[in-house]
Amino acid sequence: MGVFSKIHRFREAGQQANVNNIERFGTPAVSLFTTSKIFTLHKLIDITDGYENVIYHASTKFPSLHDKTDITDAYGNPVAHVERKLFSLHERHYVYMANGASFEISNELMHIIKDVTNIVGLGWQLKGNILGLNFELYDENGEIIAVISQKMFSIHDKYCIDIYKTEHEKTVIAILVTLQHMIKDREAASSGSSSSD
């Protein structure tokens, strides 16, 4: 367990930022936290601040072949729409931001653990071990945008997001929600498509 405590960077709201993140990148400008809830016809994700106020909300309708998800802010204003491309050799999701920007996140299905994932349309890169629950998001200049880590052994899929460039906050949230869907897809595929929905 000592190895995980050194490597693992998740923390709950109200706790101090991870020492490794501070040493490498400085103190984050903003930290947000997510919790997933699964109901019969919807998957809901709440994104909260350090005081547990809901800042963003994501909702996915089941059943949905395209895994369509809408992200809104706390007031119900649209932030982004995410959907999966069917029949692709890659895990591919399209993200449409409310401000008109769009991009895609894809991974080759053969590479279960991939060190670098390109975010096509933004020029950003996701680095780290996605299945290892810790990854970093860099902009086109190689500068840190956010560090994302998942709580181990959580039935509610809890994540902590340390954001260093707050102007990209909504895009970071859209990427995180998309990654959660990609991770769930992998888990479902590796467990013989057995689903707990």
- For the record, the structure tokens of 159 come out as 């994540």
- Alpha-carbon torsion angle 105, 24, 3, 114, nearest 10: 20
Domain residue spans of the chain: 2-190
SS3 sequence of 80-136: EEEEECCCCCEEEEEEEECCCCEEEEEEECCCCCCCEEEEECCCEEEEEECCCCEEE
What are the pLDDT digits (tens) for 119-138?
889 999 888 765 556 788 99
DSSP 21: H
What is the average per-residue pLDDT within 77-102? Answer: 85
pLDDT over 80 (residue 63): no
Instruction: Confirm if 71 and 175 have CB atoms less than 8 A apart.
Output: no
Partnered with residue 57 across adjacent β-strands are 46, 72
Give 2-190's CATH code, choosing from 2.60.40, 2.40.160, 2.170.120, 1.10.10: 2.40.160
Collapsing DSSP to helix, strand or coil, 19 comes out as: helix
- For the record, the structure tokens of 76 come out as 């119900």
Among candidates 106, 128, 133, which has minimal Cα distance to 116? 128
What are the pLDDT digits (tens) for 29-49?
999 998 877 665 567 889 999
Partnered with residue 146 across adjacent β-strands are 137, 163
Query: What's the chain's average pLDDT?
Result: 78
pLDDT tier, 150 (very low <50, low <70, confident <90, very high otherwise): confident
Of the two residues 29 and 18, the one the predictor is more confident about is 29
What is the average per-residue pLDDT within 141-169? Answer: 84
Partnered with residue 83 across adjacent β-strands are 94
For 3, 135, 144, 146, 193, the CA distances from 127, given in Å and listed in that order, are: 20, 6, 10, 11, 27
Q: How many angstroms separate the CA atoms of 152 and 167, rounded?
A: 29
Residues with Cβ within 8 Å of 130's Cβ and at least 6 positions away in sequence, in order, are: 113, 114, 117, 179, 182, 183
**Residues counted in the chain:** 197
The whole-number pLDDT of residue 133 equals 63
